[in-house]
Amino acid sequence: MRVAEVVVRILESEGIEAAFGIPGAAINPVYEYLGQSKQIKHYLARHEEGAVHAADGYFRASGKMALAICTSGPAATNFVTGLYTAQIDSMALIAITGQNVRAQLGKEAFQCVDIATIARPVCKGAWCITEPTQVPPIMRQAFRLAREGRPGPVLIDLPLDVQLADIPYDPAADAPLPIMRTPPDRAQIARAIDLLLKAENPVMIMGGGVLLAGAAEKCVEFAEYLSLPVITTYMATGGIPAEHPLHVGHIGIQVGSPFGNQFFLGSDLVLGIGCRFSDRHTGRLDVYTKGRRFIHINVEPEHIGRIVPTELGIVADAGLAVEALLEEAKRRTPPLPPKPRVARIPQDRAALARRMDYDQVPIKPMRVYKELNAFFGPNTIYTTGCGLTQIWSGQFQMTNAPRTYLASGGAGTLGYDLPAAIGAKIARPDATCVAVMGDGGFMFMVEELAMACQHKVPIIVVVVNNGYLSLIRQNQRYAYEYEYGVDLTYDGLGVDIPALARAFGAYAERVTRPEEIRGALQRAVESGKPAVIDILVEREADASMGASLDAVREFNL
């Protein structure tokens, strides 16, 4: 069987149903058989980076892997930002790139670049397969690696003559490799419960690994059993309903809430499950760690003790660890009532909430998020990338279910949001998918509106338009006391975003008053098309942030 056909057969066997990519001479043999597949549907991207972000969004929304595929040279190198975005946020996908023939490798031939070496730092694994018979075992290994432990992207680079080679292959004798889950040590689980029961003011941090393990509901059950207050990392947004009585909210130096930061600083024991203790979550470590002991559960051994001093580290799959914790808690104690500070969470959380009910013109950005919360249902999927719009989104958007808040967390990739929303909508066609982004970020991947329009994927893009690279403007203003190179306006407002969106075939309109937002969102939904709502907001509104949990500068309390 020709290797190009073998590749597609394996993709089908591994459950791939969606492929996002752009064909080219060095990958056309695989495309021939991709076009014959009755299982895999191909969506034509307009930039290779957009293809990877779409495959990433597909996984975030559904937990199922998708394919990103392109040709060699600059097409392959355009994959790198998308791979990095997926890798740091632990999102599994398979990327396949075409390559020049084996005889030209290392000779600076046309569009012949060592993409496997380039991509390895931003992938769980990357291979340039030069022996045709090794394609099946390496592809199976790649899929297992992508899914096992901490998920992540993998890349397969296929020289053209390898794709065209014939190899002996029996699909009936080949199958996906088993995925192993690391169980926790029972003595360590017992020790964790000991520490939690003895602590005066314990808190639990639900990390993104809990959602990836499909364990959010069980984690909430465990928290309810011990009346443990729950802090969500940014990547765990939606793991517990926003209004749950145990939900403290986010903490951190950007998307953290005033109440969340204050509550955390009153804790004495921290149980972190499936989290990384990243810098935007912790801020200054001396403030974050002072007076607190840490239990850290993570599937990756090197993550434990890497950032915070860890009294008890447990290497385990987050889902298996949560199940063991709940089982041990039930064995040791009846359900515990909340302590007074825990019982007050709903009232204190509301009292310290940042303000959103602004009525003035130009529109305050916070009002946009208030309208989004009010208009869209609880199962709406949001994507967001980077900038003040992303920070405001983390601070103000109400999210109530796992896999409904898809943010570029670790990379902060401008432009991620639009193609990721396309991938999410394809993965979950019954869900409403909304990309919330700034006018600067919108221009990074705007070409992917063509993918949405061509394939009739009705996402909604909400552009919070202040005419600035506003996160950079805010940093320049307060850290350096200058402003330069951040103003996006020219000839009045700058890019006519609604006109640009209509040129792609999308529904579009501009909003200038707060009372117009809801009607515009309604018309976007009713259009049944990809839609762009361009909301002009106050140009120099700032987002609350700081260097440490006890020194966040507030702008809209």
The predicted pLDDT at position 556 comes to 74
* Tens digit of each residue's pLDDT (9 = 90 or more) over 315-352: 999 999 999 999 999 999 999 999 999 999 999 999 99
C-alpha distances (whole Å) from 87 to each of 27, 66, 168, 413 are 24, 14, 34, 12
Domain 365-553 - what CATH class?
alpha beta
For residue 362, whether the previous peptide bond is cis, meaning omega lies within 30 degrees of 0, is yes
DSSP class per residue in 311-335 = SEEEES-HHHHHHHHHHHHHHH-PP
Cα separation, 280 vs 386, whole angstroms: 13
Residue 224: CB partners within 8 Å, gap ≥ 6? 246, 335
Measure CA of the first residue to CA of the last residue in the chain; give whole Å.
Answer: 66
Cα separation, 329 vs 423, whole angstroms: 39
Cα separation, 556 vs 419, whole angstroms: 31
In 316-396 the beta strands, taken as DSSP E runs, fall at 381-384
CATH 3.40.50.300 fits 186-351, yes or no: no
Cα separation, 327 vs 497, whole angstroms: 54
- Give me Rg for the CA atoms of the chain: 24
Amino acid at 469: L
**DSSP at 448:** G
Q: Is 479 exposed, middle or buried (0-12, 13-18, 19+ CB in 10 A)?
A: exposed
Please report where in the chains the tokens 């695989």 appear, as a residue. 30
C-alpha distances (whole Å) from 185 to each of 9, 217, 324, 437 are 39, 22, 9, 43
Please report where in the chains the tokens 């003895």 appear, as a residue. 198
Longest dimension (CA), the chain: 72
Q: What is the pLDDT along the chain (557 residues), one digit of tens a residue?
A: 999 999 999 999 999 999 999 999 999 999 999 999 999 999 999 999 999 999 999 999 999 999 999 999 999 999 999 999 999 999 999 999 999 999 999 999 999 999 999 999 999 999 999 999 999 999 999 999 999 999 999 999 999 999 999 999 999 999 999 999 999 999 999 999 999 999 999 999 999 999 999 999 999 999 999 999 999 999 999 999 999 999 999 999 999 999 999 999 999 999 999 999 999 999 999 999 999 999 999 999 999 999 999 999 999 999 999 999 999 999 999 999 999 999 999 999 999 999 999 999 999 999 999 999 999 998 999 999 999 999 999 999 999 999 999 999 999 999 999 999 999 999 999 999 999 999 999 999 999 999 999 999 999 999 999 999 999 999 999 999 999 999 999 998 899 999 999 999 999 999 999 999 999 999 999 999 999 999 999 999 999 999 999 999 999 76
Please report where in the chains the tokens 């080219």 appear, as a residue. 24
Cα separation, 315 vs 303, whole angstroms: 9
The predicted pLDDT at position 557 comes to 65
Cβ neighbour number for residue 497 with a 10 Å cutoff: 24
C-alpha distances (whole Å) from 428 to each of 6, 41, 187, 217 are 28, 14, 40, 20
Amino acid at 164: L
Q: Where does the chain hold its CATH 3.40.50.970 domain(s)?
A: 3-173, 365-553
DSSP class per residue in 233-273 = -GGGTTSS-TT-TTEEE--SSSS--HHHHHHHHT-SEEEEE
Cα separation, 91 vs 147, whole angstroms: 9
| Cα 465 → chain centroid | 22
Cα separation, 88 vs 82, whole angstroms: 10
* Nearest Cα to Cα of residue 397 among 351, 366, 428, 442: 366
Cα separation, 534 vs 471, whole angstroms: 19
CATH architecture for residues 3-173 = 3-Layer(aba) Sandwich (3.40)
